[in-house]
Chain A
Amino acid sequence: MDDLQQIADNLIKGRATEVKELIQATLDAGISPKDILNKGLIPGMDVVGDKFGKKEIWLAEVLLSARAMQAAMSLLGPILAASGVKPIAKVALGTVEGDIHEIGKNLVGAMLRGGGFEVIDLGIDVAPEKFVDVVKQGVSIIGMSSLVSTSMASMKTTIEALEKAGLRKQVKVMVGGAIVTQTYADKIGADGYAPNAASAVNKAKELLGLSSLS
């Protein structure tokens, strides 16, 4: 258990290399990948999200933790999949068409992974058709990010594309980004809006009817 606590602590401090080494060591010691995720990484990211929400840490520190989480999952993800551990749900994330800012989206991705979700990262400048395709492959939620007003309208276009493809009802749509507001989310018919990466996890759980933390 001590090892798992150490993983969480290093994750909180944003030490990617140490987190990766510790995970390898605990795996070698025979601890199940499921426990590493559920008792090490998830509680660690939970603390990060909580502190970020309370403004005890800020963006630069959260980005480091997010990077460590990404490194952890690059190692653990395939092992989890191979051992048949199911994520709580699949989420596809992308920065909408016309926009190339990815930091916010990546942060949400790390938080969601830390919340036990499987995250498919569609990248930046993602065309509505790409979102439609990923929904066809079966994801529970799509998350769209936009940082600038010149491309924010692509969120609306994407929702319309989902409707046209007859897929709107089978997926929940979440939106966020510096300029996006709850009002805008309501206006374009999104299911959920989160003002920051930390609250995105709870919002995702809420949309799926899963018991949300807190």
Chain B
Amino acid sequence: MLGLRISRYNKNGICERQNLALSFPLTKLYNHNYRDLLFGHGMTSYSVAFEPSGKQNYIEVGKTVFEAAQSMGVELKTLCGGRQICGKCKVKFEEGFFPKFGIYSKREHLSPPREGELRYLGQAAIADGYRLSCAATILGDLVIFVPEESRAIKEVLAKTATAKPVLLKPAIRNCYVELPPPSLGDTRSDWERLSEELARNFNLIALDIDYYAMRSLSNALRSGDWKVTVTTWTEHHVIKVKPGLVERSFGLAIDIGTTTLAAYLCDLSTGQIIATRSVLNPQVSYGEDIISRITYVTDSLDGLNQLNNIIMETLNSMVFNLASEAGITAEDIDEATVVGNTAMHHIFLKLDPQYLGRSPFTSTIRHSLDIKARDIGFKINPVANVHVMPIEASFVGADNVAAIISEEPYNQDEMVLIIDIGTNGELVLGNRQRLISASCATGPAFEGANINFGMRASSGAIEKIAINPKTYDVRFKVIGDVYWSHRMPRLKACGICGSGIIDAVAEMLHAKIIKPSGTFNKNIPSPRLLCDREEPEFVIAWPYETTLDQEITISQGDVRAVQLAKGALLAGAKILMKRMNIERLDKVILAGAFGLHIDKEKAMAIGLFPNLKLSQVYSVGNAAGEGARLALLNVDKRSEAAEIARRVEYVELSTDPSFTEEFVKAMTFPTPKNN
């Protein structure tokens, strides 16, 4: 029982749910110290959190980090089983205060490095905070980051772009020229010689050359024997001169999500995606949602620089990996497009985000930006242009603009509702006549936060659930396993992710374990219904099916958290429909990684969006990332984005007079159909 209580307190649960936590992501600023309460005296334990899984628990002093990870279901790679002889279980401790966990993580909170660690990691890595998890013992509160290479099973972060056909019209153009060499009779400067040739052959007039490119110009011309490839940006700016004929050029589309970063490396000459990568946004250590990130920036001394640095570091390492995968170098990337919600956008640009978080919610800029990679420490071609897409309003960012240019509701007669469910939910409603948008504070419930056993979509998370309405028997499937729970699964469950939560609620509703009001039916004759707890709970996985040595359940509070989140989304959709003066929709598009994973039928069963035929609901995956790719490959898409950002009318939902009424209605589940 003790273990159960701890994990609850630690997972943003009870203390918040008692409050009137309404239409905003819940942030946990003031952590209570439950340690004394739970452990009494004489036994010292420390709070340890792992990223990127976000798991947190109390661990006895003297345990190794590896043991802590095992006890919490954080799977680390190991060949030797924690005997300090394989060097695979490398982790990095984070330094500083982490408001999300209430942890002050310090170097002294781990035992000093041992000799074996030096051998496997080297002095420099140890100085950077890397340790072997099986050698380092816990002496204080800690936040530990598990690098990708040390994770036993990789994260499932489906921010893949479902590539659409696109007309190629990139801003980058390669021009191959052969120049007459200089002589005493022709002493034009190298630049004059080149620019005159470009004007003559390619009709490129009024060209200029970037200072960095200029510095390598003379040598490039001579080493190429006066045959060079000139890379221009928007046909008026030379950004690179390379000897010989170079046919391919590369660009990068980046989507900075609150939780996930996605990058697509594209061949600008063919439009193809040649490598894709998505990783967890490292800023999650500083808070799950944008409000807590903004608060971090406002409340800490160097917060903006810190958050900006870790995002740039991560992007640079992603670029490095993408380039190696494609057999090129990062410097071969000549342009990048960037999208993200407004807070991520501001932090990426080192613009102070604090005014986004307070009424009247103003951003520093709204229009798109073209800046040099070198000015923001982005390690691609330093001369490369970074095109940052425009934003609509403080809570409807460049990611939404990108989703719109990807789905093009403005070219359709049908009335389309685009629902982009990420850490925040954004809605766009309209067609070629008119477009309106809104931001719904769904909170991160659909990403597993505020749910007792919630977790992100990674290995071991229950992603699918089926409940027999007669026997109340439960079957589930975890990520990383092909078998359902009744067929000898390979992996045990360690939590429930967003799609699993939707499944659970829909199935519980169908089996009448919960009523349409969301209240538990305490008369269900099943040992899975636990009524002796603080609040009713329904068992999804028995202790032997989990890595936690306890049941994984869905509680009354979890159902309420889903009701709040889906209520915000549905109320938002209803208000937009009212503003648009329409009764029904022709089409619903679910965008975002979450949209790709959820079962549309189950989502409809819990009333996540207005009622319509299942065949009218589409999941399109990461539409924002796709929009960034389209803008990378076709400059006309950038003008479209600029126009859309101006044209979309933003609706502030929380001040709409009918919001409370719609919200109350929307929190109720639809009455289940009889089977």
Q: Give residues in A with beta carbon < 8 Å to B.
A: 55, 58-61, 63-64, 67, 97-104, 106-107, 124-125, 147-152, 176-181, 183-184, 195-197
10 interchain residue pairs of minimum CB distance: A150-B357, A98-B358, A104-B20, A178-B21, A149-B295, A60-B667, A125-B359, A178-B19, A63-B664, A181-B30
Contacts of B357 in A (CB 8 A): 98, 148, 150-151
Cα A151 to Cα B22 with chains together (Å) = 15
Q: Is the CB of B560 within 8 A of A178?
A: no
Min distance, Cβ B56 to any Cβ of chain A, angstroms: 19
Stretch at the interface among B176-184, B274-282, B654-662: B654-662
**In-complex Cβ contact of B27 among A55, A99, A148, A196 (8 A):** A148
Q: Is the CB of A100 within 8 A of B291?
A: no
Cα A56 to Cα B291 with chains together (Å) = 31
Q: Is the CB of B660 within 8 A of A103?
A: yes
Q: Is the CB of B16 within 8 A of A178?
A: yes
A60-B563, A101-B654 in contact; A195/B19 too (CB < 8 A)?
Answer: yes
Contacts of B553 in A (CB 8 A): none
**In-complex Cβ contact of A98 among B16, B359, B518 (8 A):** B359
Assess whether B542 is interfacial by the CB under 8 Å rule: no
Which of chain B's residues 559-583 have a Cβ closer than 8 Å to chain A?
560, 563-564, 567
Cα A173 to Cα B101 with chains together (Å) = 30
Min distance, Cβ B654 to any Cβ of chain A, angstroms: 5
Q: Is the CB of B660 within 8 A of A195?
A: no
A58-B518, A178-B26, A179-B27 in contact; A106/B18 too (CB < 8 A)?
Answer: no
- Interface class of chain A by DSSP: loop
Contacts of A181 in B (CB 8 A): 15, 30, 32
Instruction: Mark B287-320 against chain A: 1 for CB-CB distance below 8 A, else 0.
Output: 0000110110010000000000000000000000
28 interchain pairs, CB-CB under 8 A: A58-B518, A59-B20, A59-B667, A60-B563, A60-B567, A98-B358, A99-B358, A99-B359, A100-B359, A100-B652, A101-B22, A104-B20, A104-B22, A125-B359, A147-B24, A149-B295, A150-B354, A151-B359, A152-B29, A176-B19, A176-B20, A178-B19, A178-B22, A178-B26, A179-B26, A183-B32, A184-B29, A195-B18
Assess whether B192 is interfacial by the CB under 8 Å rule: no
**In-complex Cβ contact of A197 among B20, B518, B663 (8 A):** B20
Cα A58 to Cα B23 with chains together (Å) = 15
For B287, the closest partner residue in chain A by CB is A149
Q: Is the CB of A67 within 8 A of B660?
A: yes
Count CB-based A-B contacts (< 8 Å).
Answer: 110
**In-complex Cβ contact of B22 among A64, A103, A149 (8 A):** A103
Contacts of B20 in A (CB 8 A): 59, 103-104, 107, 176-178, 196-197
Cα A100 to Cα B659 with chains together (Å) = 12
Which of chain B's residues 70-112 have a Cβ closer than 8 Å to chain A?
none
Give the number of residues in B that approach A within 8 Å (Cβ atoms).
Answer: 43
Q: Is the CB of A150 within 8 A of B295?
A: yes
Q: Is the CB of A58 within 8 A of B519?
A: yes
Contacts of B654 in A (CB 8 A): 100-102
Contacts of A106 in B (CB 8 A): 660
Most buried by B among A104, A106, A149, A178: A149
Cα A151 to Cα B663 with chains together (Å) = 23
Contacts of A184 in B (CB 8 A): 29-30
For A198, the closest partner residue in chain B by CB is B20
Assess whether B668 is interfacial by the CB under 8 Å rule: yes
Which of chain B's residues 1-41 have a Cβ closer than 8 Å to chain A?
15-16, 18-24, 26-30, 32
Q: Is the CB of A183 within 8 A of B18?
A: no
**In-complex Cβ contact of A60 among B29, B294, B298, B664 (8 A):** B664
Assess whether B535 is interfacial by the CB under 8 Å rule: yes
Contacts of A149 in B (CB 8 A): 27, 29, 291-292, 295
For A64, the closest partner residue in chain B by CB is B664
Contacts of A195 in B (CB 8 A): 18-19
Contacts of B412 in A (CB 8 A): none
Contacts of A177 in B (CB 8 A): 19-20
Min distance, Cβ A187 to any Cβ of chain B, angstroms: 9
Cα A137 to Cα B475 with chains together (Å) = 63
Which of chain B's residues 629-667 have a Cβ closer than 8 Å to chain A?
652, 654-655, 660-661, 663-664, 667
Cα A61 to Cα B519 with chains together (Å) = 11
Min distance, Cβ B561 to any Cβ of chain A, angstroms: 11
Cα A63 to Cα B667 with chains together (Å) = 11
Cα A152 to Cα B19 with chains together (Å) = 15
Assess whether B517 is interfacial by the CB under 8 Å rule: yes
Cα A184 to Cα B567 with chains together (Å) = 29
Min distance, Cβ B170 to any Cβ of chain A, angstroms: 39
Min distance, Cβ B598 to any Cβ of chain A, angstroms: 23
Min distance, Cβ A194 to any Cβ of chain B, angstroms: 10
Most buried by A among B360, B564, B655: B655
Q: Is the CB of A150 within 8 A of B294?
A: yes
**In-complex Cβ contact of B24 among A58, A60, A101, A125 (8 A):** A101
Contacts of B661 in A (CB 8 A): 67
Contacts of B292 in A (CB 8 A): 149
Q: Is the CB of B30 within 8 A of A183?
A: yes
A103-B660, A149-B292 in contact; A196/B19 too (CB < 8 A)?
Answer: yes
Min distance, Cβ B568 to any Cβ of chain A, angstroms: 11
Min distance, Cβ B3 to any Cβ of chain A, angstroms: 23
Q: Is the CB of B560 within 8 A of A58?
A: yes
Contacts of A58 in B (CB 8 A): 518-519, 560
Q: Is the CB of B18 within 8 A of A196?
A: yes
Cα A60 to Cα B15 with chains together (Å) = 19
Min distance, Cβ B59 to any Cβ of chain A, angstroms: 25
Min distance, Cβ B649 to any Cβ of chain A, angstroms: 18
Contacts of B26 in A (CB 8 A): 178-179
Cα A111 to Cα B661 with chains together (Å) = 18
Min distance, Cβ B547 to any Cβ of chain A, angstroms: 30
Cα A194 to Cα B359 with chains together (Å) = 24
**In-complex Cβ contact of B663 among A61, A103, A150, A196 (8 A):** A103
Min distance, Cβ A19 to any Cβ of chain B, angstroms: 16
Contacts of A178 in B (CB 8 A): 16, 19-22, 24, 26
A-B contact sample (19 more), CB < 8 A, given A103-B22, A178-B19: A55-B556, A59-B560, A63-B660, A63-B664, A97-B358, A100-B654, A101-B22, A102-B654, A103-B660, A147-B21, A147-B24, A149-B295, A150-B354, A151-B357, A178-B20, A178-B21, A178-B26, A183-B32, A196-B20
Q: Is the CB of A179 within 8 A of B29?
A: yes
Most buried by A among B20, B21, B30, B560: B20
Min distance, Cβ A86 to any Cβ of chain B, angstroms: 29
Min distance, Cβ B355 to any Cβ of chain A, angstroms: 9
Contacts of A103 in B (CB 8 A): 20, 22-23, 660, 663
For B22, the closest partner residue in chain A by CB is A103
Q: Is the CB of B358 within 8 A of A150?
A: yes
Contacts of B295 in A (CB 8 A): 149-150
Cα A177 to Cα B431 with chains together (Å) = 38
Contacts of B519 in A (CB 8 A): 58
**In-complex Cβ contact of B517 among A61, A124, A152, A183 (8 A):** A61
Cα A118 to Cα B664 with chains together (Å) = 25
Cα A183 to Cα B30 with chains together (Å) = 8
For A184, the closest partner residue in chain B by CB is B30
Most buried by B among A148, A181, A184, A196: A148
Cα A97 to Cα B32 with chains together (Å) = 26
Instruction: Mark B349-364 against chain A: 1 for CB-CB distance below 8 A, else 0.
Output: 0000010011110000
Min distance, Cβ B449 to any Cβ of chain A, angstroms: 14
Contacts of B291 in A (CB 8 A): 148-150
Min distance, Cβ B19 to any Cβ of chain A, angstroms: 5
